[in-house]
Every structure is written in structure tokens, then in C-alpha cells.
Structure 1
Amino acid sequence: MNEIIFFGLNNYPILFKNESNIIKKPIQFKFENENENENENEKQIKQISSSYFSTIFLFKNGKAIEYLNQNPSKIQIENIQKVTVGFLVEAILTIERNVFAKGININTENPNEFINISSLIEDKNDRIIQDIVSGRYSIYLLTLNQNVYGIGSNEDGQLGFDYETLDKTEKPILMMKNVSKIFSGNSSNHVFLLNSNQELFGCGDNYHGQLGLGDSIKEIKIQKLTKIQNIPKGKIIDIQCGNDYSIMLIEDENDEKRKLYSCGFDKNNGLARFKNIKKFTEIKLSLFENDGDILDFSVGNEHTLILTSNSKLIGFGNNEFGQLGKKSLFSSYKSNPIQIKLPKLRFNEDIYNYHVSCGYHKSFFYYSPPPSFSNLEEDLIKLFERKEFCDISFKTENGEIIEAHKLILKYRLNQNQNQIEKLKEIISKKSIKESNQIFEMIYSNNSNINPKLYSEIKKL
């Protein structure tokens, strides 16, 4: 069953018809006509992606609901693996590795119609997509061959080309090769690309120094992918971009502690600096000192949510629309992070099952419990027939369960025997609990479940 907590701007789209336009106290979200007798697996949330005008809820059965204005509608695309929403663009990645997108900068003739943009890539051997990320007006595609393509607006050079000769494109254009990750944001006109050597490159809007290039770079529009120097030491886990700033999550290679760094115009992200910080600088604040590790974080237009391993939800930035879950009207911007008090939750599952997602002026805290299986053999057959690979948590120490996991894994990894053997070697040295966590990470592609274990299987 869904467990979704919402606070912030209840408009464009309207998510609650009987509530005010601004919701400053976290409340539970329910879908219209929610059927309590519906199959639990049909209602579990996998992802929420939201911007100013649109919010998409993706379920673990591969179906999605989109809210535009005040009329929710089912997206008529099956087997959805990921959704991403920008200010005026949307994209959907399917299990078959196709990408469908819509928006004024994607399809001028019919901006409200999803079209297959992956099929527009000139190199037919490069049309298998493994990840998608949205910017404010652009969509970025990472192919299985580790190439990144951009489509949409290039008004700030966010596609890595001269904006005077290419202000937008409705056909994916190659931006960079040998890329492992893409980072941007639903209100961002800048993007970061990380290559396999952990070298970071960026382009786009740099008016407030949000690309972290330092004081030596004076240009406000970076039209060519430029290497970011002086990156903090450690492994880059994630970078999320707001309108005028960027926040980076780094894992220290020595103590595996996760730390946050930011750059850009820090008035908007609430760190009380009120000036442009042009290189990534560690966020050092008392509220973080004893809050455990950072499990998840999300960046909106001008606010940030952080989820810690000791169950704290922390927010900072703009609270004008209640997106920090506070009623106070004395100050729109919170100069220091605050803890957000949530309503009592219906479930008491492991904290690793929880996630946060920031829309433009909206905030979501969501969770769904893992499905329960009464008949292992029967349910495995169903999984194989549907070719669905969702989060599965078997709470048992039965060795046969591990073997069942391996069967699913063969399908998840396309029966790559070399990968399976490597994973078996890792598993043989782990406990049953750790083994189950490894499988959960593979099913969900979620490194937050156990960062330490994830680092061991990242090459898989």
C-alpha cells in the first residue's frame, strides 16, 4: 500500500482538491478512488518525479499516473522503469530500454504527445538506453555504450554546444562518450557528466557559479563541457541541481562517511552565506553532526530535503510555499537546516525503504513495504513470465531462498555467467541478511540500501 507524505504548493497541478493551494504541514496523500481491495503489488510506489506543472507517480508494476492541472490520468505506456520530469519536459524509460518524451522543446508540433526519442539517435547501435535525467527544459540520455545524448533547449549551453548556433534540438545529439552518470535537476539549466575515471564535467548556466568551476571562470554560460577541477576527495554518489545551485554527495573512501558539498547562490539553499560560492564547499552545520549517514537527498528549485540513517528528515531553503513542512511565515528562507516533523506512519519497516523527492515548490516523502510471498515457486514463475524485477525482501535465513535469488538474478543480469560468478564469490563471504540486501540493491538499482555493500558490487 502507498505511503506518501506531501507538503508544499498544491497547485500546477492540484494534488488535493479539498485543500488550500499551500500546504505547510505534511499530510498523507491518497490517490482518487483508491481501492483497498486492490492487489498490494499494484499500488506500491517505485518513484515520484515532480516539477512545476506536472507530477508523475510510478508504480512497481511498471504503470504510471500523471497529474496535470487537477485531472490525474494513466500514462498509456507499459513496462515503465523510470520517469523524469522537468519544468516543461517529461521522459519515460521502459524496461525494453526505449525512451519516450514530450514537451515544447521535444515535439513542437504536439508538445503533449509522448514520442520515442531514443529511436531518433542516428547511430542505430546506440539506441539502448540505461538511464535518463531531466533538466529544466532538456532531457539527457545515457546509452548502454556509455554515451550521453541531449535533446531540448540549449539556451544556456546545457547541451554543450554554442547556443547562438544551436538554441534547441528535437533530435538527440551526442554530448560526450565514456560517461557513467548524469546529474541535473527539474529546475536546472546546467548539467554534470561523470566519466568512468571519476572525472566530472559540466556545462550550462553558471551565472551564480553553480557549476563549481571556481573563480577563474568568469563566463556565465558554459557552452562546452568543461572539466570541474578541485573536486572533493572521495566517491561521487550523487549531484542534484537547483535553479541557482548544486549539491554533491561524496562518500569518503577511508571511513565511508557521506558528506554534502554545495556551490552556487546559497541564499536559495538556506545555508546563510548569501553570496555566490563558486566551488564545491562542504556543508558543515551542527544539525548534521550526530545524525548518522545520509541515505537519500533531493533538490527542488530552491529547497533541499535530506534523509538520515537515524530516521531524521532535514530540510533547508525556500519555505514560501510550505515545501519545508513548516507553518511559520516569519521568514521564507530558512538560514539553517530544520528537522521536519512527519505524521505518524502506518508502517514500521526498515528506514532504507524510505525516499524523498523534491518538486519545483513541492516535497514528497514516500515509502512502500516489500511484497510478501506465500508461495515462493509460484511467485517466481509469475516474475519470470512478466519479466518484472522489483524490490524483494525475504525475511528468512533459509538457504533455498538464496538459491531462488540467484535464479532471479540470472534474468536480471541477462544470464551473464561471469557477473553471476563474481557475485557468488561476494555472497559467499556475507551473512544471509547482507546477501538479501545485495539482491535488493540489484533489483531496485538503489545504492542507498547499504552503501558499503554497494561499493563492493558496483562493477557488476
Structure 2
Amino acid sequence: MKNKLNKFHQNFSTIFLFKNGKAIEYSNEDDLNQNPQKIQIENIQKVTVGFRNEAILTIEGNVFAKGKYINPNNPKEFINISSLIEDKNDRIIQDVVSGDSSIYLLTSNQNVYGIGSNEYGQLGFDSKTLKETQKPILMMKNVSKIFSGNSSYHVFLLNSNQELFGCGNNRWGQLGLTKIQNIPKGKIIDIQCGYGHSIMMIENENQNPKRKLYSCGYWEFTEIKSSLFENDDIILEISVGGNTHALILTSKSKLIGFEDNAFSQLGTGDINDPSIPIQIELPKLRFNEDISNYHISCGAFFFQS
């Protein structure tokens, strides 16, 4: 069992991105002593890590990626996947998002390309005819935002008319309602996808608080309510973990966690009711400052028998 678990965890890595556009990576696949390795790519503006892949977006609009489904012959080597897009006029990438085993590219022309595994149809094609691809394939046009998650086998695509489309694994209803267009009124700010659930942040200027969260997946489509969400406090950012935990960052420097804490992934050391959000008290480390300018990110967790 020990050898099996060690092999299972070889996909995990962490990338730190610095303000100067350089990055380092910790990967237990390469170094059990956790010595960081410098990533030999310059002018980085975004990094995204999936369970089985990594992708880097540069200021110039190029995307370099690596992983089992991206470069099966050498999964540890970064390759320029944006240069593989057939339409040369569509190779400038505006955003990149990782799923569990797929990567999604949003071009400056508002086209979305997918690359990697299509086991659950997460690239928008029939999984029986297209299992996986090491070449970016056009999924949808006129897209303004893409949403997925490091452990998700599904993706949401939002067009310029605020119409939402989803594809991929829907075993637990993580794609939301049957007709995704029937979501609550308001502007979709963000969607975070986990393995079997999704959380949407929707903004409506006529309600208090103006930003609300809705969850779908393991449980029915429902609004996430709590007295911790004050009317004058604004939800800034959400992050969803692989199975059933999530973090919420607010403008009043509150860090709120909810859902599963069986392995203390919320940092509280106890197992809480998954339906009740809790405020996480951060330890005073080297600073005591406003955390609303920081970013949050939840990792994956999976059982292996």
C-alpha cells in the first residue's frame, strides 16, 4: 500500500509565481526533500496547476504546459501548446485554466480550445469518439470567461451575453441545473469547480449582500447562507477543493471555510457540519495586515483504495 500511495501522489506539485515574472516549483515527483526547481520560462503572468497537468501563461500570450495527457512521451517537459493551434491568427492566449486532466485556452479572439483528456466529455466532444488529444481543439466561440478546477472533470463557458454553458462529468449534478441559463439573476463573477460540485458567485446590485454564492453538485442547487456574510462585506474570491471543501475571502479580511474538514483542510483541526460555513482564525505570523489583497487556493484530496 505504501508504494501504491507514493506513486499516486507523484502528480502533486506547487508553483510559486513572483512579481518579476519568474517562478519556482516544488514537486515531490522529482525531489522528496522538497527543494525548489526554477522554471526556465520568463515573463510569466499566470500559473495554473491541475491534478495531472500544469500550465503557464506568459505576458506575450504563449502557454507552456506539461503533464501525462499533454506530452505523454515526456510528461515532465513544458511545451508551447498555444503554438499548436492550427489557426495562426488565434494563437495569442488571454487566459488559461486547468482541469483535472485537461487544459482550456481562451484566445484574444474569444475562442476556447481544449487539450488533454476527454474521458467525461470535458472537451465538449463525445468521449467515445475523442478520448484525448495532445493538440488544442476548438470547443466554442464568443467566450468571455472559462471556469474549471484542479480536480474537476467539467468546465463552464460564459459568453459575452452572460449565457452559461457546461460540459463534462455531471454524475452529481455539478453542472448545475438542467438548463444552465436558469441560474439566479445577476452577473456571474466567478465559478469554481471541484471533483463533484461547483460554486457560483453571482452579483446583483439590487440585493444585500450584493454578491451571493450558490452551490450545486453533491447537494441540490442552493444558496450558501450564513450570518458571517454581512451586507456591507463583499465576497472577493472563492476557491473550491478537490472533494468537498472551499474557502471564501471577503473585503473585511474574513477567511471563511465550509464543507468537509475530515482531514483538517480548513485548518481548524475539527470536523464540522459541511453545510455550515465557519470563520477561520489565521495565526499571526510575520505580519498583522489586511489579507483582502491576497489570493486563496484549495488543493485536491482523493481516497485511494
**Greater mean alpha carbon deviation, residues 299-308 or residues 126-135:** 299-308
Aligned residues of 2:55 and 2:63 also touching (Cα < 8 A): yes
Aligned ranges for residues 414-453 of structure 1 at < 5 Å?
A: none
The aligned residue for residue 205 of structure 1 is: 169
* 1:265 pairs with 2:218: yes
Quickly say closer, same or farther: Cα 1:314–1:332, change in 2 above 3 A.
closer
RMSD of aligned residue pairs (Cα, Å) = 2.2
Q: Counterparts of 1:65 and 1:352 in 2: how far apart (Å)?
A: 24
Question: Is the helix fraction higher in 1 or 2?
Answer: 1
Distance 2:176 2:275 in 1: 21
Q: 1:296 deviation in Å?
A: 1.4
User: Amino acid of the residue matched to residue 167 of structure 1?
Assistant: K
- 2:260 paired with 1:318: yes
Partner of 2:23: 64
What is the identity, as a one-letter code, of the residue corresponding to 2:224? I
**Map of 2:283 onto structure 1:** 343
Give the aligned partner of residue 115 of structure 1.
79
Query: Any idea what SS the aligned residue of 2:256 has?
Result: strand
Residues 111-131 of structure 1: CA distance to partner in whole angstroms, max 9, x if unpaired?
Answer: 110000000000000000000
Map 1:383-422 to 2 at 5 A.
none
Map of 1:357 onto structure 2: 297
Q: How far did residue 354 of structure 1 move?
A: 2.1
Unaligned runs of 5+ in 2: 29-33
Deviation of the 1:352 alpha carbon: 3.5
Distance in 1, matches of 2:227 and 2:202, equals 18
* TM-score in terms of structure 2 length: 0.89
Report the CA distance between 1:253 and its aligned residue: 3.3
Q: Secondary structure at the match of 2:61?
A: coil
Mark the CA change 1:72 to 1:303 in structure 2 (over 3 Å): closer, same or farther: same
What displacement does 1:282 show? 1.4
Alignment-derived partner of residue 297 in structure 1: 238
2:31 — aligned with what? none
Q: TM-score, normalised by structure 1?
A: 0.60
Query: Which structure has the larger Rg over C-alpha atoms?
Result: 1
1:316 positional shift: 0.9
Residue identity matched to 1:232: P
CA deviation vs aligned residue, 1:306-341 (integer Å, no higher than 9, x gap): 11222211101222322111122xx37644111111
Query: More displaced, 154-163 or 71-80?
Result: 71-80
User: In structure 1, what residue type is equivalent to 2:113?
Assistant: Y
* Residues 136-164 of structure 1: CA deviation (Å, up to 9, x unaligned): 00000000000000000000000000000
1:39-50, aligned counterparts within 5 Å?
A: none
SS at match of 1:341: coil
Identity of aligned residues (%): 77
Gaps of 5+ in 1: 1-10, 14-50, 215-226, 267-276, 363-460
- Considering Cα pairs closer than 8 Å and 6+ residues apart, tell me whether 1 or 2 has the greater RCO: 1
Aligned length: 289
In 2: Cα distance, 1:129 partner to 1:182 partner: 12
- 1:199-278 pair list within 5 angstroms: 199-214=163-178, 228-255=180-207, 257-266=210-219, 277=220
**Alignment partner of 1:156 is 2:120:** yes
8 Å contact from structure 2 (residues 53, 102) kept in 1: yes
* Cα-to-partner distance string for 1:19-50 (whole Å, 9 max, x where unaligned): xxxxxxxxxxxxxxxxxxxxxxxxxxxxxxxx
**Contact persistence 2:210–2:231 (CA under 8 A):** no
Deviation, structure 1 residue 293:
1.3
**Distance between the aligned counterparts of 2:18 and 2:301, measured in 1?**
23
Pick the aligned partner of 2:108 from 116, 129, 144: 144
How do 1:101-112 and structure 2 match up within 5 A? 101-112=65-76
